[in-house]
Amino acid sequence: MKNNFWPALGFLSPALLVILVTIVFPFGYAFFLSFHKWNLKYRDTPFVGFKNYSRILGSETFWEIVGTTAVFCVLSVFLIMTIGYLIALLLNEEFWGRGMLRALLLVPWAIPEVVNGILWKWLLDPSFGILNRILMKIGLIEEYHSWLNSMPSAMFSVIVAYVWTHVPLAALIILAGLQSISKEVKEAALVDGAGIFDRLILITTPLLRPVLVVVLMFETIFALKVFDIIYVLTGGGPGRATTVLGWQIYSRTFTNLAFGRGSALAMLLGLLTLIVAVLYFKYLNKEED
């Protein structure tokens, strides 16, 4: 067992070098700041120990924001995984035009942030947005709805926009996984003559588990840190209804210049994400070793 350590490290060394060189200082710096009252507006930056952390953990608002983040994360990751898996299964079939469709799949992700903001803001606009017009035409709504300014439609709109950009990533990764197991799936299906759905649940999904766990983990990490789409669409509003941790970290650090508090929040979010990742790994990635 032990004799493998050094060869393994040899394989890993270029990657570790890149990561360590770039991350150790910034991470250490942020960690250091989180134990100080460090606001760029004031010269005085005293060491305060765990005070930043205790103030955050003791505030009601923080737990409310954690709740909002959890709701956002669970819903959007669920949707991304489901839609992503379905799209990947479809693109794994052979049909005319699938090459083009596979490439076009990347479109939502490739649109720059600022354009995405305009796109969704205008689609959802209550007075000249297209969504209202279409829904009205097919008779789903009776009057123009102001999607971003009441709950739960504000949260739902943000999730829809977010899911749309993230589905390509999930679908792409799952699709590649499907490609590498397609032979086993076909063989197994030939042997027991299983139907489409049995095949999916009994054969494909278990074989794909390592890849699915990784996608699930990535999407959870991304969703827990979400910031951009909230920034453009709702600014965390109405009230605090869509204020998530990523937004709160941004507003602490860049609006208040309270880098101490902001870093402490970031550390807590990092820790939370790590716990979730480890739990996924432990319970979903059961392995032979």
Partner 1 sequence: MGITYQIFGMRPDKLFNRLLVYGGSVVVLFYILGPFLWLVSSSFQPEQNLLDRDGSLFPTEWDFTAYRELLTGFLYDASSGIPYQARIFLRSMLNSLIVAGGVAVLSILIGSVAAYPLARMKFKGRNFLMFFILGTRLIPAIALAVPFYLMVKAVGMNDRLETLIVINLSFILPYVIWLLQAYYRSIPMELEEAARIDGCSRLGTLFRIILPLSLPGMVSTGILAFLLSWGDFFFALILTQSQSSFTSTVVASMFATDVDVKYVSIICAGVLSVIPPVSFALIFQRYIMSGLLSGAAKG
Partner 2 sequence: MKKIIFALLGGITLTVFLVGTIHAKGLKMTGWPYQPDTVTENLGVFTAQSGIGAEFLPIPSDSYHDKMVSDFATGTGFDLVYVRDNFLAEWASAGWLHPIQDMPGFDQYRKDLSQASIDQLSVDGKVYGLPYYAGMMSFAYNADHLKSAGISAPPKTWDELLAQAKKIKAAGISNKPIALQLKKGNYIVISLEVIAAGFGGTMFDSKHNPVFQKKGSAFWKALAWTRKGLKAGLIDEASLSSGDHDVVNMLSAGSHTFTIVADYNLKAMNDPEKSKNAGKFKIGLIPGDGNTRSGTTSYVRLYSITADAKDKAAAWKLLQFLGGRDANNEYFVAKKWALNFGLGFAQLPLYEDPDVRSSLGKWTNPDVMAEQSKYSVNRGYRFLPYFSDWQTETWAELQEMLMGDDDLGNDLEKLAVAWEDLKN
Is position 243 an interface residue for partner 2 (rule: CB under 8 A)?
yes
Q: How far apart are CA 166 and CA 170, in angstroms?
A: 7
* CA angle (89, 93, 97) in 5-degree steps: 115
Can you count the helices (H) and strands (E) in the chain? 13, 0
User: Which uninterrupted H or E stretch holds 117?
Assistant: helix 113-124
Contact 84, 171 (CB under 8 A): yes
Residue 76's binding partner, choosing from partner 2, partner 1, none, with beta-carbon cut-off 5 to 8 A by kind? none
**Piece of the chain touching partner 2 by CB under 8 A; list 74-82, 206-214, 216-224, 234-242:** 234-242
* Per-residue buried b or exposed e for 231-260, using 16+ beta carbons within 10 Å of the residue's own CB: bbbbebeeeebbbbbbbbbbbbbeeeebbb
The site partner of 260 among partner 1, partner 2, none (C-beta below 5 to 8 Å per kind) is none
Question: Which range binds partner 1 by CB under 8 A, 48-56, 60-68, 70-78, 259-267?
Answer: 259-267
Nearer to partner 1, 153 or 231 (CB): 231
Please report, as residue ranges, which positions from 154 to 173 form the binding site for partner 2 (by CB under 8 A): 154
Q: What's the CA angle centered on 161, arms 93 and 71, to 5 degrees?
A: 100
Subset of residues 107 to 146 that bind partner 2, contact rule: CB under 8 A = 114, 121, 125-128, 144, 146
Distance between CA 227 and CA 264 in Å, rounded? 17
Q: Taking CB under 8 A as the criterion, which residues in 115-134 touch partner 1? A: 115-116, 118-120, 122-123, 127-128, 130
Q: 112 or 239: whose CB is closer to partner 1?
A: 112
* Residue 69 is a binding residue for partner 2 (CB under 8 A): no
Q: Does 68 bind partner 2 (CB under 8 A)?
A: no
Please identify which residue in the block is written with the tokens 């606001």.
39
Which residues make up the interface to partner 2 (CB under 8 A)? 39-43, 114, 121, 125-128, 144, 146, 148-150, 154, 233-240, 243, 251, 254-258
